[in-house]
Chains A and B, each alone.
Chain A
Amino acid sequence: MKEKIIALMEEVLQLPSGTVSESTRMEDLEEWDSLAHVMLIGELETRLSISIPLDEAVEITSVQEIFEKAGLK
């Protein structure tokens, strides 16, 4: 599932494969701004059925936190 999430992020952010890793943070990527973040949260739900509540979604700032919210420790 972790690989799927990372692949989805790279797709939505239009980044080459290998750019995003488990340790990537929002400030590391120019493409990951608030607009892209909304797209990411939406796509996680539509494509991978990972539903993160809105108030929690806006707090997320790293791949690690996405994994946590998705229940992947």
Chain B
Amino acid sequence: MSHRIAVLSNVNLNFVIRMLKKELGAAEPESLVYETAGYGNELGTLLDATSSYEAFRPDITFLIMDLMEVLDHDLSASSDRIERWFSMLEGALHEERLYYISDAFLWGPELEVMQDTDCRKQSEDRWQECLRNLSRERSNVRILPYRRIIEEIGAENAFSFKMWYMGRILHTNEAQKRMVELLLQTIRLQERIPKKVLLLDLDNTLWGGLAGEADHSPVVLSQEHTGLMYKNLQRVITQMQRQGVLLGIVSKNNEKDAMDIIASHPHMVLRPEDFVCKKINWRTKPENIAEIAKELNLGMDSFVFWDDNPAERELVKAALPQVTVPDFPDKPEELPDAMIRIYRQYFEQAAITGEDRQKTRQYAENARRNILKAQAVDFASYLRQLAMEIIRERPEANLERLTQLVNKTNQFNLTTKRYEQSHMQKLLHDTGKGIYLYRVKDCFGDNGIVAAVIVDLAGTAPAIDTFVMSCRVMGRNIENAIVDDIEKELYEEGCLSLQAQYLPTAKNKPVETLFEKLGYTVIQTMETGGKLYEINLADRPEREYYAEWHT
């Protein structure tokens, strides 16, 4: 994948740009980095339609701003200046481009003697607030965690007066290197498909020692020493869970011993409801993981497995090569850091959507639905018991989720066409395209927006260009309802037939014969195994589904 990157700043970051070019050139030779004309005129550069920046047409622009320079050392009117900066910035943003804007760290010589420390905090807070608001309103504006770099190495190691006086270079080599790392990491986030589930062992992983070993030697998990290392590890994992990472337990223990600790140990941060699945038994771990994959309806490549026992890790690697198995640190004090690295490497996403925050609840509900499925006498009565509701959602209001669905769905995906958010944005306004988006609710809760269809209306007959559905609602005949809905609408608009395609990939085998089942006729078979279909809209088959339509 190639990118066009621009880094703009109000201080001299030319050395950062030089390093970034070198690093990115080695990793992605196709990518280009904008050679800035100077610095300090970031808003002018963004606003000027004739600038070399504009001609470069970057797809990602990083704005790394020194707050003190934005304020021009005048802290008395900081709020006004910050608001003005953001309102001008907003006017310069392109919808189809991505922007990362640095958060605030105020630094300057006068702060060393400033007695009123509130003043500094107020300025930083105001910047953060404006930035947070903008990133909420604009899905293409994101926050670059610049402040974290300064805090990690300390201001005294991050800034240099000498370089500032010589060439308005504010940051030391150490800080600049870390900025380059952050930029590269952020660029890579755009292309990596994140993992979904973190599977955890218990003994010597989430706590020290063995559960149920002896009453007089409780597990190591506390507010101090080694116990605190495990507690901090759990804090990191809990935060990951809140940001959409699903958690599971795969552990060899007596279930009661383990659950007693998870439910009632005073220093457990993670609790039973934080896990979407718990396999606490004496079977092999690959068996348990395979069962979890089935229950959650996820591919093996969605899982990361973490266990202190090297033998268990090797067994999982050998039996389930698609499962990611990171190394385990030797010392417990390294546990929280190791987990932070796992998060950044495998789970971190370019943006967190509301859907992500709801994930654990939705997957847990799904596991309950699968239990209901096993109890129901036949499939139709199961679907009836689910009492599903389908709601058509406005694609314009859910661009981010729409893009996410289209780009992340692998199994129920008929053509596996990917559209970047900027492209999707254009499709929304294209009269030659019809975009349909559906939410599904049932007796257990709201599944969220789970299906999207793009119909190409430009040809002689309309054709389904893209049809994706989240795996968490697969196998519930929802596709019947959705296709009915679209066909009905097109027929009412005067269309007589509808075409569709299936293009095979390594993953979409489950929908290979979907259109046959929906009553479509194959009109062409391609060498690649792909098929072209058509249906006469005046003569649509009766399809069974058990869902109510709601608006």
Q: Which residues of A contact B (CB under 8 A)?
A: 11-12, 14, 34-36, 38-39, 41-43, 45-46, 51, 54, 57-58
Please indicate the chain B residues that have their CB under 8 angstroms from the CB of A35 in the complex.
12, 14-15, 18, 167, 169
B22, B157, B165, B169: the one contacting A39 at CB < 8 Å is: B169
Q: Which residues of B contact A (CB under 8 A)?
A: 12, 14-15, 18-19, 22, 157, 160, 162-163, 165-167, 169, 172-173, 176
Nearest A residue to B166 via CB reads A38
Please indicate the chain A residues that have their CB under 8 angstroms from the CB of B162 in the complex.
41-42, 45-46, 51, 54
CA distance A12 to B16 in the complex (A): 11
A interface, over-half SS: helix
A42, A45, A51, A57: the one contacting B169 at CB < 8 Å is: A42
Contacts A38-B167, A46-B173 supplied; 18 other A-B pairs, CB < 8 Å? A14-B19, A35-B15, A35-B18, A35-B167, A35-B169, A38-B163, A38-B169, A39-B169, A39-B173, A39-B176, A42-B160, A42-B166, A43-B160, A43-B172, A45-B162, A46-B157, A54-B162, A58-B166
Tell whether, in the assembled complex, residue B18 and residue A41 are in contact, meaning their CB atoms are under 8 Å apart: no
Tell whether, in the assembled complex, residue B166 and residue A12 are in contact, meaning their CB atoms are under 8 Å apart: no
Please indicate the chain B residues that have their CB under 8 angstroms from the CB of A43 in the complex.
160, 172-173
Tell me the smallest distance from the CB of B107 to a CB of chain A, in Å: 15
CA distance A42 to B175 in the complex (A): 13
Tell whether, in the assembled complex, residue A46 and residue B172 are in contact, meaning their CB atoms are under 8 Å apart: yes
CA distance A62 to B160 in the complex (A): 23
CA distance A41 to B163 in the complex (A): 7
CA distance A58 to B160 in the complex (A): 17
Tell whether, in the assembled complex, residue B22 and residue A14 are in contact, meaning their CB atoms are under 8 Å apart: yes
Nearest B residue to A8 via CB reads B173
Report if A42-B22 is in contact (Cβ < 8 Å); known contacts: A35-B15, A54-B166, A57-B166: no
Please indicate the chain A residues that have their CB under 8 angstroms from the CB of B14 in the complex.
35
Please indicate the chain A residues that have their CB under 8 angstroms from the CB of B12 in the complex.
35
Tell whether, in the assembled complex, residue A41 and residue B166 are in contact, meaning their CB atoms are under 8 Å apart: yes
The 7 closest A-B CB pairs, nearest first, are: A42-B163, A38-B167, A42-B160, A42-B162, A38-B166, A45-B162, A43-B173
Report if A54-B165 is in contact (Cβ < 8 Å); known contacts: A14-B19, A39-B15: yes
Q: List 14 A-B contacts (CB under 8 A).
A: A12-B173, A14-B22, A35-B14, A35-B15, A35-B167, A41-B162, A41-B163, A41-B166, A42-B160, A42-B166, A43-B160, A43-B173, A46-B172, A58-B166
Please indicate the chain A residues that have their CB under 8 angstroms from the CB of B160 in the complex.
42-43, 45-46
CA distance A2 to B169 in the complex (A): 25
CA distance A68 to B209 in the complex (A): 59
Nearest B residue to A31 via CB reads B18
Tell me the smallest distance from the CB of B48 to a CB of chain A, in Å: 24
CA distance A12 to B169 in the complex (A): 14
Please indicate the chain B residues that have their CB under 8 angstroms from the CB of A12 in the complex.
173
Please indicate the chain B residues that have their CB under 8 angstroms from the CB of A14 in the complex.
19, 22
Nearest B residue to A33 via CB reads B18
Tell me the smallest distance from the CB of A40 to a CB of chain B, in Å: 9
CA distance A13 to B18 in the complex (A): 10
Tell me the smallest distance from the CB of A43 to a CB of chain B, in Å: 5
Tell me the smallest distance from the CB of A10 to a CB of chain B, in Å: 12
Please indicate the chain A residues that have their CB under 8 angstroms from the CB of B18 in the complex.
35
Tell me the smallest distance from the CB of B367 to a CB of chain A, in Å: 51
CA distance A42 to B204 in the complex (A): 46
Tell me the smallest distance from the CB of A35 to a CB of chain B, in Å: 6
Nearest A residue to B160 via CB reads A42
CA distance A34 to B18 in the complex (A): 13
Please indicate the chain A residues that have their CB under 8 angstroms from the CB of B22 in the complex.
14
Tell whether, in the assembled complex, residue B15 and residue A36 are in contact, meaning their CB atoms are under 8 Å apart: yes
Please indicate the chain A residues that have their CB under 8 angstroms from the CB of B172 in the complex.
42-43, 46
CA distance A37 to B255 in the complex (A): 64
CA distance A60 to B181 in the complex (A): 31
Q: Among A12, A38, A58, which residue has the most Cβ atoms of chain B within 10 A?
A: A38
